[in-house]
Structure 1
């Protein structure tokens, strides 16, 4: 266990060292590392930006959009996934619509969001919602359908009704699959919210990163990329931690 906590920061440090060497020496090994800022330059720019009010405003804007869109997607995606998997009528009614809409990239809906919603903020939240909705829906649906039928038969044999089947068997049994979809969904949400901010936002990490690119501020661009990576990692880790806490009653293999 101790070796893992040494290996992980060591691998990150090795990557940063390689980046510094390649960029500081202006290496050209097919890729043009001489065009990229060094680790030192990025660290210096990050130290400057992290104390600016605009940086914290951008963080708050992006996190607020993720929080609103992802929360809606988690609620609706989980509920609809269970409903479609449990009801043949709903599956026949909604299944074709969902399957046609699912392959459409959420970022491709930006023009539709601009036309539909009165403000850019609402449109960006909508894009974030769509990005997370389908991974959560599909993961939940598959988790419900994968439940052993003997579990439901057992509780019905003991006199359980439909509500008890849902609350005692279906929902607890699908938790690992649901949290798998939530983990994927939050990552996809970050990809799409950043892209939406670049296209139509006025604040946010994605907007600030694009602004840095337009003025040829490459250290600022990398600072934005690093910030996005850290935010995505922290939110995904929070979802996975919540999932482990919610499924502590399962065997370790099932939680994984």
Structure 2
């Protein structure tokens, strides 16, 4: 029986791989984008109803989050249109909210559902650095990293069943997989749910989206230097981590920067 289950899991992974057009990489895809977007709408509204959303009309910080999110959404839409990939954004209805929380965190669900926590703003310190974070989180969503992680969870924890079956038979487990895949509620910052390779993909795309939106992508380096200072050596060694150590990340960002700067045109020019 064990061999049969393993064979079934392998067969499922083979027939359920798809190539992401923006990364060029094959990914495990047990979760249809339409279904995961439907889950995102439900979970996003549930999250907002259970947390204190800061009004953009009453807070400069919330207005900044809205402005950054909107500029990045507009840039992404234009970028995809120019590459003939507009259909990849089908179902996207962008939303951007600032939530009152001490957590140093931000995330973007499928369909463009963005949340920034107030605890992140003392680390970003300026609008361009915030754009780096939002661009990075949007890149995770566009690269389907959360869906990929959820597919891995379905395969490992629930035997590779289809999402609809998992939702019907094990709704609590499926919801937990979704929340974990997108980093919602984690206290470990914006990087926890993703592998190191996913993080570097999101860094590269995020820098491009930041630059296209008129924000200086070079702000990514001091941002991660501040993040390193915040962690004060309390992070696990890189080999035991699911994401790059800050020092490695900064070196990689510096290597990516020349390409990102090709897209940079300051706001107002």
TM-score w.r.t. length of structure 1 = 0.28
Higher relative contact order (CA 8 A, sep 6+): 1
- Write 1 or 2 for the structure with the bigger share of strand: 2
TM-score scaled by length of structure 2 = 0.27
Q: Of Structure 1 and Structure 2, which has the larger fraction of its residues in helix?
A: 1
